[in-house]
């Protein structure tokens, strides 16, 4: 075929597409802030163009005169950053979108000139293949759109379920819904359809799931029951149940199940308490955690509150969890109460604090002095940590959102925003008079080790055995060819470990991003495990006494590792390649 013929064919195809779009989507302008899109439904998805710098427009989806869906999206006005799909497959042949913009833009151009009208299109597919160089290879990310807290995590019949705060209509926080992914090894995650979407009670904020083996709620034995906060003008706790192992949920018809007259009342966490034979629910309530009990998951009795005067109160308490764990090298069990807080973190912004004590089914009693504050992770990007319900072998597996509210919306990715941390198995250990939480990469991470490599790679684990000389200072530098680097310092006498990301790569998107984070080591570290993925570094003491999670955006992968010891400590490192991209 000669070149002209190819060009002619190509232009014929383009003309056809334009005609198809013009016929199938017709826009009517109803004022400078208001328009209607009539969609003649020839395909299942309406792809709408997004421009991140714009304000959210409100879109009501109307089918057969009924409001069938509502969403907010930053519709493109000047240029298209990316597309998001609106699923219209369930509605009749003609769908109407009633669109209201927040601001009158007539100073910069008439509504008719907004690019969203000519750039919207119908399609049966939405391309989710990765377009982002910073997308991690072995951490969970949403296929597209914004993500914050992990939600509703549970394990059942060999499958780990991870739900998450998701915006399916853009890569900034909005339209909170529960996205869903599943995995059989905690590393390879498979994206599932959206699990719980907003309704007349509000957006779907964070919460949990439990597996109701004894059918206490009457939804069936083994039903998965989800608890979440419906957020609108107030925050109230609601439930939904699934009889197909968490694929689809039916909202309980008597929602909400728990209300309060305070503005911050959210993130229910439910678990079964053996001794009292009751379900327990924790709900974060401003500066405290409220505790409720129930025998049927539907009616909840207030038991007590914990928090006033304890730990850090520089922000709102959010996303609680409570679990019983053995204390290492003892026969004791203690209770760990997780309390995420934003702001107030040790390096600014959001972070996970916790309390150790006793719980009798009614009341949590902290065993530390009120002024003691304990942090679970000493990086800047570890938030909304909660654990999986029903994990096997008495394991307590937690995951955190690997970001910080200070800059999460500005991170230099577009197709998706934010990743989750590696899964971590929690335990307890004693140091002096205090008991602390131990955090270890879940054993599944050792199974993910690939071949041994000589130099650093974009996705790898560095295992560093350290035979430390007293009072040594060990520095570990990860660097790329552009000179971007991450400096880690292990000060043995000072009992501290720190990570400096001030020169780590792209730090320009927020003044809050460049940081040095420092952790107490609780004794000498014998082995460090450093997990590097394309935009994160998680460091663990292999004994579990320190974890540090920080995100980084190097313009090229760090490819050299330089270890220096002032006093000639013996250090041996092994690097394993990790890549779980399918
Ligand atoms: C924590 C949080 C929760 C809330 C959710 C909303 O990051 O603020 O308290 O449920 O995010 O997306």
Strand 527-533 versus strand 57-63 pairing type: unpaired
Candidate list 98, 149, 185, 491, residue with the active-site label: 149
- What span, in angstroms and rounded, lies between the C-alpha atoms of 368 and 465? 33
Ligand 1 midpoint to CA 284 (Å): 11
Q: In a 3-state reduction of DSSP, which class is residue 218?
A: coil
- Is 81 catalytic? The answer is no
The residue whose CB lies within 8 Å of the most ligand 1 atoms, and thus the one to mutate among 72, 142, 147, 149, is: 149
Q: Break the chain into its structural domains and give their ranges.
A: 25-123, 145-440, 449-578
Question: With contact defined as beta carbons under 8 Å apart, do 229 and 268 qualify?
Answer: yes
CATH class of 145-440: mainly beta
- What span, in angstroms and rounded, lies between the C-alpha atoms of 24 and 14? 15
Ligand 1 midpoint to CA 310 (Å): 22
Provide residues with CB under 6 Å of ligand 1.
Answer: 148-149, 165, 176, 205-206, 229, 266-267, 318-319, 384
In the block, which residue shows the tokens 């004022």?
31
Q: In a 3-state reduction of DSSP, which class is residue 409?
A: helix
In this structure, the residue with its CA closest to atom 9 of ligand 1 is 318
Per-residue pLDDT tens listing for the chain (582 residues): 333 333 334 443 333 333 345 479 999 999 989 999 999 988 999 999 999 999 999 999 999 999 999 999 999 999 999 999 999 999 999 999 999 998 776 666 689 999 999 999 999 999 999 999 999 999 999 999 999 999 999 999 999 999 999 999 999 999 999 999 999 999 999 999 999 999 999 999 999 999 999 999 999 999 999 999 999 999 999 999 999 999 999 999 999 999 999 999 999 999 999 999 999 999 999 999 999 999 999 999 999 999 999 999 999 999 999 999 999 999 999 999 999 999 999 999 999 999 999 999 999 999 999 999 999 999 999 999 999 999 999 999 999 999 999 999 999 999 999 999 999 999 999 999 999 999 999 999 999 999 999 999 999 999 999 999 999 999 999 999 999 999 999 999 999 999 999 999 999 999 999 999 999 999 999 999 999 999 999 999 999 999 999 999 999 999 999 999 999 999 999 999 997 654
Q: State the closest ligand 1 atom to the C-alpha of 229, by its place in the atom list counted from 1.
A: 10
The residue whose CB lies within 8 Å of the most ligand 1 atoms, and thus the one to mutate among 177, 205, 400, 407, is: 205
Query: What is the per-residue DSSP string for 506-553?
Result: --TT-TTS--EEEEE-SS--SEEEEEEETTEEEEEETTSS-EEEEE--
In the block, which residue shows the tokens 């013009």?
22
In this structure, the residue with its CA closest to atom 6 of ligand 1 is 205
Strand order in the sheet with 278-285: 265-273, 278-285, 288-294, 301-306
From the CB of residue 253, how many other CB atoms can be counted at a distance below 10 Å?
A: 5
Strand partners, 29: 35
pTM for this predicted structure: 0.95
In this structure, the residue with its CA closest to atom 12 of ligand 1 is 205
Ligand 1 midpoint to CA 339 (Å): 12
Question: With contact defined as beta carbons under 8 Å apart, do 320 and 280 qualify?
Answer: no
CATH of domain 449-578: 2.60.120.560
Helix ranges restricted to H, 366-476: 444-447
Distances (CA, A) of 200 to 169, 232, 258, 342, 396: 18, 9, 16, 28, 35
- What span, in angstroms and rounded, lies between the C-alpha atoms of 189 and 153? 13
Ligand 1 midpoint to CA 417 (Å): 15
Distances (CA, A) of 189 to 136, 141, 158, 171, 184: 12, 9, 13, 20, 8
From the CB of residue 55, how many other CB atoms can be counted at a distance below 10 Å?
A: 12
Fold for the domain defined by 25-123: Jelly Rolls (2.60.120)
Ligand 1 midpoint to CA 113 (Å): 36
- Is there a shared CATH topology between the 25-123 domain and the 449-578 domain? yes
């Amino acid at each position: 075929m000669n070149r002209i013929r190819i060009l002619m064919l190509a232009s014929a195809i383009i003309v056809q597409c334009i005609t198809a779009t013009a016929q199938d989507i017709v826009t009517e302008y109803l004022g400078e802030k208001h328009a209607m899109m009539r969609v003649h439904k020839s395909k299942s998805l309406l792809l709408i163009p997004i421009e991140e710098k714009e304000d959210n427009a409100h879109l009501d989806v109307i089918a057969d005169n009924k409001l069938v869906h509502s969403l907010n999206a930053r519709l493109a006005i000047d240029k298209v950053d990316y597309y998001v799909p609106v699923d219209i497959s369930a509605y009749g042949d003609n769908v109407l979108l009633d669109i209201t913009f927040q601001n009158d833009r007539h100073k910069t151009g008439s509504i008719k000139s907004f690019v969203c009208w000519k750039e919207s299109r119908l399609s049966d597919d939405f391309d989710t293949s990765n377009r982002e160089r910073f997308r991690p290879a072995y951490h969970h990310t949403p296929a597209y759109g914004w993500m914050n807290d992990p939600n509703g995590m549970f394990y059942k019949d060999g499958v780990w379920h991870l739900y998450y705060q998701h915006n399916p209509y853009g890569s900034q926080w909005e339209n909170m819904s529960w996205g869903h992914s599943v995995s059989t090894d905690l590393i390879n995650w498979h994206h599932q359809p959206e699990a719980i979407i907003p309704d007349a009670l509000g957006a779907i904020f964070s919460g949990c799931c439990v597996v109701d083996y004894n059918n206490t709620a009457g939804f069936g034995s083994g039903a998965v029951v989800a608890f979440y906060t419906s957020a609108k003008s107030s925050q109230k706790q609601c439930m939904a149940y699934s009889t197909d192992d968490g694929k689809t949920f039916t909202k309980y018809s008597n929602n909400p199940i728990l209300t309060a007259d305070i503005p911050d009342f959210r993130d229910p966490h439910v678990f079964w308490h053996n001794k009292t034979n009751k379900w327990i629910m924790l709900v974060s309530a401003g500066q405290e955690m409220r505790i409720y009990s129930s025998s049927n998951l539907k009616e909840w009795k207030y038991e007590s509150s914990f928090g006033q005067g304890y730990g850090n109160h520089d922000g709102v308490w959010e996303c609680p969890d409570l679990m019983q764990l053995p204390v290492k090298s003892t026969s004791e069990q203690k209770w760990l109460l997780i309390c995420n807080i934003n702001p107030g973190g040790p390096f600014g912004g959001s972070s996970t604090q916790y309390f150790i004590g006793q719980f009798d089914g009614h009341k949590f009693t902290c065993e530390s002095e009120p002024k003691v504050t304990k942090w679970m992770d000493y990086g800047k990007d570890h938030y909304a940590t909660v654990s999986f319900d029903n994990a096997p072998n008495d394991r307590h597996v937690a995951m955190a959102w690997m970001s910080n509210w200070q800059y999460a919306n500005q991170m230099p990715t577009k197709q998706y925003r934010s990743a989750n941390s590696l899964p971590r198995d929690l335990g307890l250990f004693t140091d002096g008079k205090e008991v602390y939480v131990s955090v270890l990469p879940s054993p599944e991470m050792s199974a993910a080790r690939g071949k041994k490599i000589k130099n650093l790679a974009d996705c790898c684990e560095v295992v560093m055995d350290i035979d430390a000389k007293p009072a040594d200072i060990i520095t570990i530098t990860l660097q790329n060819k552009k000179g971007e680097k991450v400096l880690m310092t292990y000060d043995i006498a000072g009992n501290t470990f720190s990570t400096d990301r001030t020169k780590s790569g792209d730090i320009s998107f927020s003044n809050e991003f460049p940081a040095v984070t420092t952790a107490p080591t609780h004794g000498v570290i014998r082995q460090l495990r450093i997990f590097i993925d394309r935009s994160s570094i998680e460091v663990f003491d292999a004994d579990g006494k320190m974890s540090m999670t920080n995100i980084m955006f190097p313009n090229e992968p760090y490819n050299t590792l330089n270890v220096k010891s002032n006093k000639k400590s013996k250090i041996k490192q092994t690097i394993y390649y990790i890549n779980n991209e399918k």
